[in-house]
Chains A and B, each alone.
Chain A
Amino acid sequence: MTATADLIILDDHGLYCPAGDFHVDPWRRVRRAVITHGHGDHARPGMGHYWAEQSSLPILRKRLGRYAPLEGLAYGQQTRFGEVKVSLHPAGHILGSAQVRVEHDGQVWVISGDFKRDADPTCAAFEVVPCDTFITEATFAYPVYRWPLARDVAGEIHAWWQQCAEAGRPAVLFSYALGKAQRILAELTHHTDEPVLLHGAMVDLVRIYREAGVHMLPTTPVAELGGKTNFAGRLILAPPSAAGSKWLRRFKNAETGFASGWMQIRGNRRRRGYDRGFVISDHADWDSLIRSIEECGASEVLATHGDTEILVRHLLERGIKARPLRTPYGEEDAGGDQAQI
Chain B
Amino acid sequence: MHAFAELFDRLDATTSTRSKVSAIAGYLAAVPARDAGWAVFLLSGRRLKRLLGAAELRQWIREHTGLAEWLFESAYAHVGDLAETTTLLLARQENSGRELELSLGTLIEAHLLPLRGAEEATRKSALMALWRALPLQQQFVFNKIITGAFRVGVSQRLLIRALKQVSGIDETILAHRLMGQWEPGATFYQRLTADDDGEADIARPYPFFLASPMPEDHTELGDPQAWMAEWKWDGIRAQVVRRDGQCFIWSRGEELMCGRFPEVEAAAGSLPDGTVIDGELLAWRGDAPLPFALLQQRIGRKSPGAVSLKKAPVRLMAYDLLEAEGKDLRGQPLEQRRQRLVSLLAGHSDVLLSATVEAEDWQAYVALREQARSRATEGLMLKRRDSTYQVGRRRGDWWKWKVTPQTMDAVLIYAQSGHGRRSNLFTDYTFAVYDGDELVPIAKAYSGLTDAEITELDRWIRRHTLERFGPVRSVEPNWVFELAFEGIHPSSRHKSGLALRFPRISRWRRDLSLADADRLEDLHRLLNTPI
Q: Which residues of A contact B (CB under 8 A)?
A: 142-146, 262, 264-268, 270-271, 273, 275-276, 287, 307, 309-310, 313-314, 317, 331-332, 334-335, 337
In-complex Cβ contact of B421 among A143, A271, A332 (8 A): A271
In-complex Cβ contact of B12 among A266, A273, A307, A335 (8 A): A266
* B67 proximal to A (CB < 8 A): yes
Distance from A337 Cβ to chain B, minimum over Cβ atoms (Å): 7
Query: Known pairs A143-B67, A265-B80. 7 more at Cβ < 8 A?
Result: A142-B75, A142-B78, A143-B92, A265-B84, A266-B84, A268-B423, A334-B462
Contact between chains at A142 and B80 (CB < 8 Å): no
**Contacts A144-B85, A144-B89, A317-B68; is A332 near B459 (CB within 8 Å)?**
yes
Distance from B26 Cβ to chain A, minimum over Cβ atoms (Å): 16
Chain B interface: which size bin? 35 or more
What is the CA–CA distance of A332 and B419 in the complex, to the nearest angstrom? 21
Q: Which residues of A contact B462 (CB under 8 A)?
A: 331, 334
* B1 proximal to A (CB < 8 A): no
Contact between chains at B78 and A307 (CB < 8 Å): yes
Distance from A269 Cβ to chain B, minimum over Cβ atoms (Å): 9
Contact between chains at B420 and A143 (CB < 8 Å): no
Contact between chains at B70 and A144 (CB < 8 Å): no
What is the CA–CA distance of A166 and B389 in the complex, to the nearest angstrom? 45
What is the CA–CA distance of A143 and B67 in the complex, to the nearest angstrom? 9
Q: Which residues of A contact B89 (CB under 8 A)?
A: 143-144
Q: What are the 3 A-B residue pairs with the smallest beta carbon separation, nearest first? A: A267-B423, A144-B88, A270-B421
**Contacts A142-B74, A271-B421, A273-B15; is A266 near B455 (CB within 8 Å)?**
no
In-complex Cβ contact of A144 among B79, B420, B468 (8 A): B79
Contact between chains at B78 and A271 (CB < 8 Å): no
In-complex Cβ contact of B71 among A265, A275, A314 (8 A): A314
What is the CA–CA distance of A268 and B84 in the complex, to the nearest angstrom? 12
Produce 1/0 per residue, B311-353, CB < 8 A to A. 0000000000000000000000000000000000000000000
Q: Which residues of B contact A262 (CB under 8 A)?
A: 424
Q: Which residues of B contact A335 (CB under 8 A)?
A: 424-425, 458
* B422 proximal to A (CB < 8 A): yes
Q: Which residues of A contact B65 (CB under 8 A)?
A: 143
**Contacts A144-B88, A275-B15, A331-B462; is A268 near B75 (CB within 8 Å)?**
no
What is the CA–CA distance of A270 and B421 in the complex, to the nearest angstrom? 6
Q: Which residues of B contact A142 (CB under 8 A)?
A: 74-75, 78-79
In-complex Cβ contact of B92 among A146, A270, A337 (8 A): A146
Contact between chains at A267 and B14 (CB < 8 Å): no
Distance from A278 Cβ to chain B, minimum over Cβ atoms (Å): 12
**Contacts A267-B421, A268-B423, A309-B468; is A275 near B67 (CB within 8 Å)?**
no
Which residues of B436-459 have CB atoms within 8 Å of chain A's CB atoms? 455, 458-459
Contact between chains at B71 and A271 (CB < 8 Å): no
**Contacts A267-B424, A309-B468; is A337 near B455 (CB within 8 Å)?**
yes
Contact between chains at B81 and A267 (CB < 8 Å): yes
What is the CA–CA distance of A144 and B421 in the complex, to the nearest angstrom? 17
* B13 proximal to A (CB < 8 A): yes
Q: Which residues of A contact B88 (CB under 8 A)?
A: 144-146, 264
What is the CA–CA distance of A317 and B65 in the complex, to the nearest angstrom? 17
What is the CA–CA distance of A313 and B75 in the complex, to the nearest angstrom? 13
Distance from B282 Cβ to chain A, minimum over Cβ atoms (Å): 38
Q: Which residues of B contact A307 (CB under 8 A)?
A: 74, 78
* B91 proximal to A (CB < 8 A): yes
Q: Which residues of A contact B455 (CB under 8 A)?
A: 337
Residue of B nearest to A160 (CB): B13
* B463 proximal to A (CB < 8 A): yes
Q: Which residues of B contact A334 (CB under 8 A)?
A: 424, 458-459, 462
Distance from A304 Cβ to chain B, minimum over Cβ atoms (Å): 14
Contact between chains at A268 and B15 (CB < 8 Å): no
Q: Which residues of A contact B84 (CB under 8 A)?
A: 265-267
Q: Which residues of A contact B70 (CB under 8 A)?
A: 313
What is the CA–CA distance of A332 and B461 in the complex, to the nearest angstrom? 11
Q: Which residues of B contact A276 (CB under 8 A)?
A: 13
In-complex Cβ contact of B81 among A264, A266, A273, A275 (8 A): A266
Distance from B214 Cβ to chain A, minimum over Cβ atoms (Å): 29
Contact between chains at A275 and B424 (CB < 8 Å): no
Contact between chains at A143 and B425 (CB < 8 Å): no
Contact between chains at B424 and A265 (CB < 8 Å): yes
**24 A-B interface contacts by CB (under 8 A):** A143-B75, A144-B75, A144-B78, A146-B88, A146-B91, A262-B424, A265-B78, A266-B423, A267-B80, A267-B425, A268-B423, A270-B421, A271-B422, A275-B13, A275-B15, A307-B78, A313-B71, A314-B71, A332-B459, A334-B458, A334-B459, A335-B424, A335-B425, A335-B458
What is the CA–CA distance of A143 and B420 in the complex, to the nearest angstrom? 19
Q: Which residues of B contact A270 (CB under 8 A)?
A: 153, 420-421
Contact between chains at A310 and B421 (CB < 8 Å): no
Q: Which residues of A contact B13 (CB under 8 A)?
A: 275-276
Distance from A171 Cβ to chain B, minimum over Cβ atoms (Å): 13
Distance from A27 Cβ to chain B, minimum over Cβ atoms (Å): 13
Contact between chains at A310 and B74 (CB < 8 Å): yes
Distance from B136 Cβ to chain A, minimum over Cβ atoms (Å): 11
Contact between chains at A331 and B463 (CB < 8 Å): yes
What is the CA–CA distance of A307 and B70 in the complex, to the nearest angstrom? 14
Residue of A nearest to B74 (CB): A310
Distance from B165 Cβ to chain A, minimum over Cβ atoms (Å): 20
Which of B13, B15, B92, B468: most chain A CB closer than 10 A? B13
Q: Which residues of A contact B71 (CB under 8 A)?
A: 143, 310, 313-314
What is the CA–CA distance of A271 and B153 in the complex, to the nearest angstrom? 12
What is the CA–CA distance of A146 and B89 in the complex, to the nearest angstrom? 9
Distance from A152 Cβ to chain B, minimum over Cβ atoms (Å): 13
What is the CA–CA distance of A268 and B423 in the complex, to the nearest angstrom? 7
Contact between chains at B420 and A267 (CB < 8 Å): yes
Distance from B72 Cβ to chain A, minimum over Cβ atoms (Å): 8
Distance from A191 Cβ to chain B, minimum over Cβ atoms (Å): 19
What is the CA–CA distance of A313 and B69 in the complex, to the nearest angstrom? 12
Q: Which residues of B contact A143 (CB under 8 A)?
A: 65, 67, 71, 75, 89, 92
Distance from B294 Cβ to chain A, minimum over Cβ atoms (Å): 37
